[in-house]
Amino acid sequence: MPPTDSRSTYHHGALREELITACLALIESEGIGAVSLRRVAREAGVSPGAPYHHFPDRASLLNAITARGYQLLLAEVRRAVDAAGSPVQALGALIETYVRFARANTAYVRLMYRPELSESDKDPAAEATAEEGLQLLTETVVACQRAGAAPPGDPGPLVTMIWSVAAGLAMLSVEGPLDHLTAARGSTVPELTAQVSALVQTLLTGATPPR
């Protein structure tokens, strides 16, 4: 086991937060491939053995960040859905929130959409929060159906469509293609996302009411 950290200024949990912050900064600047516990320790200014107090390996550190990313995203989506004036507007707000969150939190999102790196299937917290997000989306789609603003029946296909649109725009935004596309059109990613959100809402409001 690596030696213990000699810094005495950390309270319990403070070292953990420092390591997570350092890891996020490293992902932002150099990418996920640059992450190792030794490198994160160096970036945080602690001894090579310090991370082992909280993270037994690289995957456990990435897991912790992935779980937090899902928690932060879910909190923002809940606020957007609660503030929306109708279930249809809530779906549009959800799409825009995904993209806005992704652009502001690229390190989190790069991990959230790369489960093979963080082994999130081994982390109940990350899995539970991701499932909670899908449940919120499903409930919103069902509310649209009850209001006659979405086709009746199995909500699964519409849930999948909205999720794919939101997550797809988010990742295209993080990876850069959307910036190039919108710049060529004299627009911006937020403007394009708002247009897509409005289009989805327009399509839904034309749905056949349930019988």
CB 50 within 8 A of CB 110: no
Looking from the CA of 64 toward its CB, the CA atoms found within 13 Å total: 17
Among residues 60, 66, 61, 52, which one has the least CA distance to residue 109?
66
Sign of CA dihedral 74, 75, 76, 78: positive
Does residue 170 share a domain with residue 76? yes
The Cα–Cα gap between 195 and 110 comes to: 25
Residue 58 lies in a domain: no
Where is 106: in which H helix or E strand?
Answer: helix 106-112
Does residue 197 share a domain with residue 132? yes
Predicted TM-score (pTM) of this structure: 0.84
Does residue 80 share a domain with residue 47? no
CB 137 within 8 A of CB 168: no
- CATH code (residue 121): 1.10.357.10
How many structural domains are present in the chain?
Answer: 2
- CATH code (residue 37): 1.10.10
Residue 21 lies in a domain: yes
The Cα–Cα gap between 194 and 143 comes to: 22
Query: What's the CA dihedral at 70, 72, 76, 79 to 10 degrees?
Result: 100
Does residue 88 share a domain with residue 22? no
Q: What is the largest CA-CA distance in the chain?
A: 70
In single-letter form, the type of residue at position 153 comes to G
**Segment 149-179, tens digit of pLDDT:** 999 999 999 999 999 999 999 999 998 889 8
Structure tokens at 92: 């549009």
Does residue 183 share a domain with residue 95? yes
**Segment 40-75, tens digit of pLDDT:** 999 999 999 999 889 999 988 998 999 999 999 999
Does residue 194 share a domain with residue 111? yes
Q: How confident is the model at residue 114, as a pLDDT?
A: 74
Does residue 91 share a domain with residue 118? yes
Residue 1 lies in a domain: no
Does residue 74 share a domain with residue 49? no
Residues of the domain holding 44: 14-53
